[in-house]
Structure 1
Amino acid sequence: MYDLVVVGAGPYGLSVAAHAAAQGLDLRVFGRSMESWHAMPSGMFLKSEPWASHLSDPEGRFGLDAYAAARGVRAEHGVPLPVELFAAYGDWFARQAVPPVDGRLVDAVAPAAGGFELRTEDGETLRARTVALAVGVLPFLEVPGPLRGFPRRFVTHSSHHGGLDGLAGRDVTVVGAGQAALETAALLTERGAAAVRIVARAGRLDWNTLPPALDRGLLPSLRAPHTGLGCGWRNRLYADTPGIFRRLPASARERIFERALGPAGAWWLRERFAAVGDVRLGQRITSADVTGDERLRLGVAGPDGATVLETDHVIAATGFVPDLDRAGVLSPALRGALRRVGAGGSPEVGRLFESSWPGLFLSGLLTAPSYGPSMRFVFGAEYTAGRLVKGVRQRLRAGAGRGLPGRPRTGGRAAVPA
């Protein structure tokens, strides 16, 4: 029986594994290394600054800056980095800091005597005393209700696209007003789509500004300090004090999670996006059906009333929702026993990132309603990894004496304060 199995091999999973390996835990890591990052269309860039995009290892030896320097690449403040480089960095980090990653996916995690039983996609079963769920964002993708259920030839999510060349010469509608929507629309335009439009509920497009220099004097730095989530004191609180955020009332945390760091485009994208000529703001899709000539007919409601438009394909760049019910890798019994926070269906995450089921630890997007907006970004992996592994060690030491893994502290799905 392993001490810890990490389910997922993205930035959070690899960071947790690096800290666990350094502590000498008997460890297995499952997942396809940096899968969602490798799946992004070529030509995309990181929105975050390079210094805010490190994976975490205990000694800080394997940061993005070290990888870039070894390859003669600029990783500087204010210089956007290609997503392909970041994905390759994650693979390099895994080779340097993590035991060999098993590329199989885990299909099921279920309670078992003394811990958990896991089943891989090819049917192998194994046991672990503790599990760290680090499945990234892909299980939680959100598609507007009227667009759900269509085959992928008609509707996709922005995370489905490893390339956009198959949409050249076609009419494409992109839904959303955040970075994924705006960059996807720009890339489609540059790669020869016949027509590209944005449809967004937002009444305006927001754009991040060019980040000020890191060394800009005392007074400007005091007015708007740099953080891994952008400049400003509010962002400083989100970035530096997730533990304090967790102590806020559940209603306050839910409100902040929904509103903080809302959809916005990167400063370096704005000029390229100007080529997208059809931008329809303040509008939402109310219906969708397939026409006789195999196109989508969309009903759209906006400030000027209802309209209809036809398009060949819709890309929903509408983000991700940390709803525990979408974490299908957890057995129904396990999901049903976990306590939840607020109305969004997110799991309660306690101190040191342990769920309400002893021995089951969570990371990344699933923890954002508990620990704050930084958990929606790579930046949050640094805060998470060491603390989560500390929690694993405490749980292993507790053993059968205090809440044996595999036995919930309390059942139920009621929303409770953190």
Structure 2
Amino acid sequence: MYDLLVVGAGPYGLSIASHAADAGLSLRVFGRPMASWRDNMPDGMFLKSEPWASNLSDPAARWRLDRYCATQGTTARHGEPIPVEMFAEYGLWFARNAVPDVDERTVIRIASLPGGFEAVTEDGETVQARTVALAVGVMPFVEIPAALRALPRDLVTHSSHHGDLARFRGRDVTVIGGGQAALETAALLAEQDTRVRVLARADRLSWNDVPPPWERPWWQSARSPHSGLGCGWRNWFYAERPGLYRRLREPTRARIAATALGPAGAWWVRNRVESAVEVRLAHEVTAARAVPGGVRLETTGADHVETEHVIAATGFRATRDRLGLLSPELRASLAMVADGSPEVGRDFESSHPGLFLAGLVTAAGFGPAMRFVHGATFTAGTLVRGVRRRLHTDGPAGVIPAPGRCEAAQTVSG
């Protein structure tokens, strides 16, 4: 039986695996490295976060993005966005250098058993471990507006379903949403001669400013410090102090998680949208139906749109019930917070002892940083320390305690 099973090989899973290996834990890592970055983002997209805030995490900080860029003859510079395909290649480089062998098979089911957990792979192999770190990224949590869910996938897709937009060349496409995914997708479509429009429910678009220079007068830095989530003390708190964020009252955490760093376009995509894309504001889709040649959308804008295809760039909703690879019994045992996401303790341990969570699904507990690569560094170190505490608490017999509230489990393991 392994000490730890890491399920997922994106930025969070790979970072956790690197820290776990360095800690001497016996582990298995499952997942296709950087799969969603390689398969679900079209060529031409860029990272919205700064290069220095986009590192995967190893304990010695040896395998940083800037070091990878140097091996490719390029320089990672503040204020210059990194292509998504380069970031995906960086993740593969990190996996080769900082992580034990990754088993690229998919885990399709995880269930609890006495002393730990059992995972089943896509080809039927079973693997047992005393603890599990679930780092499944965002793809299980795709959110499509209710008005569109009944339509078939040949008419409606999510923005994360497309690694290649070429199929839409010469067609008419409507993108739903007002954030970066919607605006960058629309720009890429327009640049390949797709007839494209954006429907946004907000009455105006928000755009991120060009970041200030890295080197600047001390008083400017003191007034608005750089952080992994942007400038300003509030962003600095979210980005650099997730452990303190978790000490906020749950209603406050829930409000911030739902509203902070809301939909906005990057500064470098603004001109590409405003010069080439029709944007209809205050247009929320209220109903949709298939019609000959495509889809008819009814909106709160008191008009309708007929289009050949709809791309919903409407984000993700990380709830417990969407963790479909957990057995029904294990999933039902997880305590939830107000937004439907699983509750996590100070070490990212869920209310089921030995089951640790990472990434977007922990944003309600640890804040907006968990929605970005930047959060992987805090998560990896903290989570692996929690795994070691859990394994130590279980003792030689290796008995995982019965499920209970995560705070109680953390007190026992403290």
Category of TM-score, reference length = shorter chain: over 0.9
Q: CA deviation at 1:250?
A: 1.1
| Contact in 2 for aligned 1:107/1:120 (Cα 8 Å) | yes
1:98 corresponds in structure 2 to 99
Does residue 398 in structure 1 map to residue 393 in structure 2?
yes
CA contact (8 A) 2:187 2:277 kept: no
Consecutive unaligned residues in structure 1, runs of 5 or more = 412-418
Measure how far apart 1:301 and its partner are: 1.0
| Structure 2 CA distance for aligned equivalents of residues 404 and 319 of structure 1 | 39
Using the alignment, how far apart are the partners of 2:293 and 2:64 within structure 1? 48
Match of 1:366 among 343, 353, 361: 361
Cα distance in 2 between the residues matched to 1:164 and 1:406: 49
Match of 2:370 in 1: 375
SS in 1 for 2:102: coil
Identity, in percent, stands at 60
For residue 327 of structure 1, what is the aligned residue in structure 2? 323
Equivalent in the alignment of 1:313: 309
CA distance in 2, matches of 1:394, 1:133: 17
Give distance in 1, aligned partners of 2:350 and 2:232: 31
For the residue of structure 1 that corresponds to 2:280, the secondary structure is strand
Indicate yes or no: 2:152 matched with 1:160: no
**Conservation of the 8 A alpha-carbon contact between 2:48 and 2:266:** yes
Tell me how far apart the structure 2 counterparts of residues 258 and 277 of structure 1 sit (CA, whole Å): 28
By how many angstroms is 1:11 displaced? 0.1
Shift of 1:362: 0.4
Residue 4 of structure 1 deviates from its aligned partner by 0.3
Cα distance 1:166–1:105, how it changes in 2: closer, same or farther (>3 A)? same
Alpha-carbon distance in structure 1 between the residues aligned to 2:345 and 2:277: 47
The offset of 1:150, in angstroms, is: 2.1
Between the aligned partners of 2:4 and 2:235, the Cα distance in structure 1 is: 33
1:55 aligns with 2:56: yes
**1:325, distance to aligned residue in structure 2 (A):** 0.5
Match of residue 217 from structure 2: 217
Is the aligned partner of 1:191 residue 2:221?
A: no
Q: Report the CA distance between 1:410 and its aligned residue.
A: 4.6
C-alpha separation between the residues in 1 aligned to 2:166 and 2:366? Answer: 38
Q: Deviations over 1:289-311 (max 9, x none)?
A: 111x2310111112xxx222100
Number of matched pairs: 405
Give the counterpart letter for 1:219 in structure 2.
W
1:268-321: CA deviation from partner (whole Å, max 9, x where unpaired): 111111233421111111111111x2310111112xxx2221000000000011
Q: Residue 110 of structure 1 aligns to a residue in which SS?
A: strand
> What CA distance in whole angstroms lies between the structure 2 residues aligned with 1:4 and 1:406?
16
Q: CA deviation at 1:70?
A: 1.0
> Which residue does the alignment assign to 1:278?
278
* Superposed displacement of residue 239, structure 1: 1.0
Which residues of structure 2 form unaligned runs of 5+?
Answer: 407-414
Distance 1:375 1:30 in 2: 21
Equivalent residues in 2 for 1:2-401, closer than 5 Å:
2-39=2-39, 40-193=41-194, 195-291=195-291, 293-302=292-301, 306-342=302-338, 344-399=339-394
Partner of 2:410: none
Deviation of 1:153 (Å):
1.2
CA contact (8 A) 2:5 2:27 kept: yes
* Matches of 1:114 and 1:50, distance apart in 2: 41
1:408 to 403, 407, 410: 403
Q: Distance in 1 between matches of 2:102 and 2:9?
A: 8
| Partner SS for 2:300 | strand
- The CA deviation at 1:401 is 8.4
- Is the 8 Å Cα contact of residues 3 and 128 (structure 1) preserved in structure 2? yes
CA distance in 2, matches of 1:83, 1:23: 31
- Tell me how far 1:404 sits from its aligned partner: 3.6
Higher mean C-alpha deviation, range 393-402 or range 228-237? 393-402
Residues 136-182 of structure 1, C-alpha deviations (whole Å, 9 max, x = no match): 00000100001113222100100000010000111100000000000
Looking at structure 1, the residues matched to 255 and 2 of structure 2 have their Cα atoms a distance apart, in angstroms, of: 39
**TM-score under structure 2 normalisation?**
0.96
Question: SS in structure 2 opposite 1:341?
Answer: coil
> Match for 1:153: what amino acid?
D
C-alpha displacement at 1:73, in angstroms? 1.3
1:415 paired residue number: none
Q: Distance in 2 between matches of 1:31 and 1:275?
A: 40
Secondary structure of the residue aligned to 2:347 is helix
Aligned counterparts of 1:68 and 1:402: Cα–Cα separation in 2:
47
RMSD: 1.4
CA contact (8 A) 1:168 1:188 kept: yes
**Alpha carbons 1:8, 1:30 under 8 Å: kept:** yes
| Residue-by-residue CA offset, 1:187-218 (whole Å, 9 max, x unaligned) | 0000111x210001111111111101111010
1:358–1:403: 8 Å Cα contact kept in structure 2?
Answer: no
Contact 2:394–2:401 (CA<8 Å) still a contact in 1? no
Q: 1:222, 1:241 → 2: CA distance?
A: 17
Partners of 2:336 and 2:399 lie apart in 1 by 21
Equivalence for 1:414: none
CA distance in structure 2 between the partners assigned to 1:391 and 1:277 by the alignment = 48
Q: Is the CA contact 2:349–2:357 (under 8 Å) kept in the aligned structure 1?
A: yes
Partner of 2:411: none
SS in structure 2 at match of 1:289: strand
Closer/same/farther in 2, CA of residues 9 and 163 from structure 1, 3 Å limit: same
Letter in 1 for 2:362: T
- The AA in structure 1 aligned to 2:375 is G
